[in-house]
Amino acid sequence: MTLAIFIGLFALVSGLGFVASRWRRPDTMAHLDEWGLGGRNFGTWISWFLIGGDLYTAYTFVAVPALVFGAGAMGFFAVPYTVVVYPLVFLVLIRLWSVSREHGYVTPADFVRGRFGSPGLALAVAVTGIVATMPYIALQLVGIEAVLKSMGITGHWPIIVAFGILAAYTYQSGLRAPALIAFVKDILIYVVILVAVIYIPSQLGGWGSIFDAADAKFAKSPNPNDGILLNASNQLQYVTLAFGSALALFLYPHSVTGVLAARDRNVIKRNMSALPAYSLLLGLIALLGYMAIAADVGPVGKDSNTIVPQLFDKMFPDWFTGVAFAAIGIGALVPAAIMSIAAANLFTRNIYKEYLNRAATPAQEASVSKVTSLVVKVGAVLCILLLEPQFSIDLQLIGGVIILQTLPAVGLGLFTRWFHRAGLIAGWAAGLAAGLWMLYQIPGANGRLHFGGSAFPLSQLGLDTKVTIYAGLLAVTVNLLVAAIATLLLRGRVPDGADATEPAHYEEAAATVSAGRASR
Amino acid sequence: MPEPHSTEEPGTPGRSPGIRSQWGWLLAVPVIIPLLTFLYNGDGPRLLGFPRFYWLQLAFIAIGVTTTTIVYRRGRA
């Protein structure tokens, strides 16, 4: 029963994915604005579903409650993180939307190239984006696998089939496919979570006893850093992780893709008020971890990501478990599609067109991007088949830290042209080195010596304290310092690039689309 | 696909950029408040069984919605 409903809903959205190419049909699909950005014409509702479906991934749905299950309050960082992110997007990405509309930019690296007149810096931003996105796609597979494991299905063939279908309809329909599927995904998720947070606590004696059960569990554990509240040494980690993750989120290429597909600035602004509905959802999802403790549910084997599927399996009737599992499984498809499109656009615009075929026509760009999206998905499947899942999780952790290193060029570049292009490259390199070094130094659970998490102990820097801090935020501080010092040293001595943008371009409300397209 | 509000906002000419940017500072509130752990890192008072740590941080979502809505409405351009 569970499996039949799961497969039925999966088949439904696969059909939608193929039909999507005819939805809001363009004159031609052979243009990156159409295939890769859905025509740059999505209104408020579509953008809400698309961006929501994009940012809140299947991995979020299984990993955040798993973290809350294992560590308690620390896992709740996802809530302040998503509160902080929308005002930041409001301030930052809206400027990127305007300047991209004016100049026909498709990727954040396109903007960097125009702003700083530096193909090299754009290449650094593009490669960083692709490298950070790949393991993120692989993690969506981890999300599907967690559900499959709970249904007792082992082996890799279901994943390969699912991703094969996903690759086929993304190839055909581009960004329209995830936009259409996002409606189904988000409605399923909302229904499942609302039912879960009303029904499950009623079965477990109310919210008070759920929190008390969690408190009792953590009181018994030997780990000093778990508990339903934070302690003196992990508060800084909590807030820096929330803030750093918020900064990283809008630098990820797939977030930019979702935002650039909006029709006008007001669509984005309205969404910054409406998207926090998902934050509330995420907060409630996080608490599923405590419900699992109170319901005495354990993971399948040692895979803590199976906590939520196991909880659903225990608490819900069979048919509703099928709906819930489908919600998570479909939840993996939307972000995976958008991420692969974003990575493909980066390759096409900032590597293929820049270095391989400068005279590429829009039709050639679109077809290169379509093929690249297939390659990216094959890569993600290979990650899962050939590597331990833990390795993908490590890579995603690293991905968050390295995507942050594009903050000075992309994020600050939207506000100031003060930095020298070579200074930004130096800062990027220094930030990457510092970030990787710190992650390497962090020991983890189960006797791991390296890449055990993102909480960097300040004692490693010779400070006499137990306080930890998010490695990414420290790394981007190094990045900014180096970029600033290098800028001061290089100014006037080494020629800087030209700026193709003007201050007014960042404020354009709904610029003349066709004029913008022609200008690159 | 129904598209609500699709006919509105022709722009509000005559409003100076200065007013817009002043309202923009309001967005600092939902960025800073969720980072002040001393506000919410405690168990009591509980609300519907939720310790303060949880209900107060969920309430911050409302602060975020309120401020982005105000800035959007005041700074419409």
pLDDT at A398 over 80: yes
Residue B20 in any domain: the answer is no
Asked which of A93-107, A305-319, B14-28 is least confident by mean pLDDT, the reply is B14-28
Q: What is the CATH number of the domain that holds A269?
A: 1.20.1730.10
What's the rounded mean pLDDT across residues A270-288? 88
Domain count, chain A: 1
State the pLDDT confidence band at A516, using cuts at 50, 70 and 90: very low
Whether residue B17 is contained in a domain is answered as no
Question: How many independent structural domains does chain B possess?
Answer: 1
pLDDT at A107: 92
Beta carbons of A201 and A315 less than 8 angstroms apart:
no
* Run of H or E residues at B6: none
Percent of chain A with pLDDT over 90: 26
* Chain A residues touching residue B34 (CB < 8 angstroms): 79-80, 83-84, 239, 242
Comparing CB atoms, the residue among B35, B61, B67 nearest residue A243 is B35
Q: Is residue B52 part of a domain?
A: yes
* Residue A512 domain-assigned (yes or no): yes
Asked if residue B3 belongs to a domain, the reply is no
| Gap between the Cα atoms of A201 and A199, Å rounded | 6
Min mean pLDDT across A58-67, A362-371, A476-485 is at A58-67
Q: A224: domain range?
A: 2-19+33-518
DSSP H/E element including A442: none
Domain boundaries, position B73:
37-77
Kindly state the average pLDDT of the residues A321-329: 89
Supply the pLDDT for residue B16: 41
Residues of B with CB under 8 A from a CB of A: 1-6, 9, 11, 24, 27-28, 30-31, 34-37, 41-43, 46, 48-51, 53-54, 57-58, 60-61, 63-65, 67-69, 71-72, 76-77
Query: Is residue A28, in this structure, part of any structural domain at all?
Result: no
Residue A458's pLDDT is what?
A: 84
Cβ distance B51 to A509 less than 8 Å, yes or no, reads no
Confidence of residue A429 (pLDDT cuts 50, 70, 90): very high
In a domain, A24, yes or no: no
A112-123 average pLDDT score: 92
Residue A25 lies in a domain: no
Residue A512: per-residue pLDDT:
44
Going A223 to A225 to A231 to A232, the CA torsion angle's sign is positive
In a domain, B65, yes or no: yes
The pLDDT assigned to A510 comes to: 54
A231 pLDDT band, cuts 50/70/90, is confident
Asked whether the beta carbons of residue B31 and residue A87 sit closer than 8 angstroms, the reply is yes
A26 within a domain of the structure (yes/no): no
pLDDT (0 to 100) of residue A520: 37
- Arithmetic mean of pLDDT over chain A: 86
Per-residue pLDDT, averaged over A368-381, amounts to 89
Question: Which residue reads 């809505």 in tokens?
Answer: B69
If one compares A486 and A36, the residue with the highest pLDDT of the two is: A486
A78-88 residue pLDDT tens: 899 989 988 88
Residue A515 predicted with pLDDT over 70: no
Instruction: Encode chain B (77 residues) as per-residue pLDDT tens digits.
Output: 444 443 333 444 434 444 456 777 888 888 899 999 899 988 879 888 899 999 999 999 999 888 888 888 876 64
pLDDT bin (cut points 50, 70, 90) of residue A445 is: low
Q: Which of A109-113, A156-160, A169-173 has the highest mean pLDDT?
A: A109-113
A97-101: long-range pairs with CB below 8 Å, 24+: A97/A259, A97/A260, A97/A262, A97/A265, A97/A268, A98/A265, A98/A505, A98/A506, A98/A507, A98/A508, A98/A509, A98/A511, A99/A414, A99/A501, A99/A505, A99/A506, A99/A508, A100/A260, A101/A40, A101/A508, A101/A510, A101/A511, A101/A513, A101/A516
- Percent of chain A, pLDDT > 70? 97
Domain annotation covers residue A265: yes
